[in-house]
Structures are given as C-alpha cells and as structure tokens.
Amino acid sequence: MRSINGDLAIDNNAAERAIKPFAIGRKNWIFFGSDHGGQTFATLASFTATCEQLKINPWLWLRDTLTRLPVTPADQLNTLLPTATN
C-alpha cells in the first residue's frame, strides 16, 4: 500500500513476507557445519530473495549469466546483474 504522496509504503508487509522463511527455518539452520557454510547460505538466500523480488527465476538467470560471463567485457559486467535484466 502507498502513502498519500505515493513514495513510501504505510505498512511493512513486504519486509515481513521477505523474512518469514528465515523465521520459520531458524531452528533448522542453527548448525551449518562451519562459519563458511553460514556465509554461503546467507549469500544464496540474498541472491534468491533479490531474484524473487525482481520476478526473475534465479536458476535460469544464474545459468544465463555464467554462460555469458566469459565473453562479457569487464566494462559491461554491470549488464549481467539481476537488476539490469528487469
């Protein structure tokens, strides 16, 4: 829902929906085996949430990006970001 001037949402439903899977799975994720495992999960969760917010299939995007990455010039790497495809 938007405020009167349309700039800010007057509720935090989007934020609550975004963190719901983490609240539900919190007890299951207590043990990752290592700190590196926890960091890997955090990276994947952030990537997946970003793609979902942008309505992009994360695995199709990842496959496409890894295919195009070797032939993309360094000054055009920003075109591979999920936000550039939307």
Q: What torsion do the CA atoms of 17, 22, 24, 28 make, to the nearest 10 degrees?
A: 170
Contact 2, 14 (CB under 8 A): no
pTM assigned to the model? 0.59
What's the pLDDT at 57? 93
Contact 82, 54 (CB under 8 A): yes
The per-residue pLDDT string of the chain (86 residues; one tens digit each, 9 = 90 and over) reads 445 566 666 777 877 887 787 777 776 666 667 777 778 888 888 888 888 888 999 999 999 999 999 999 999 999 888 876 55
CB contact set of 32 (below 8 Å; sequence gap of 6+): 38, 40, 41
What's the pLDDT at 68? 94
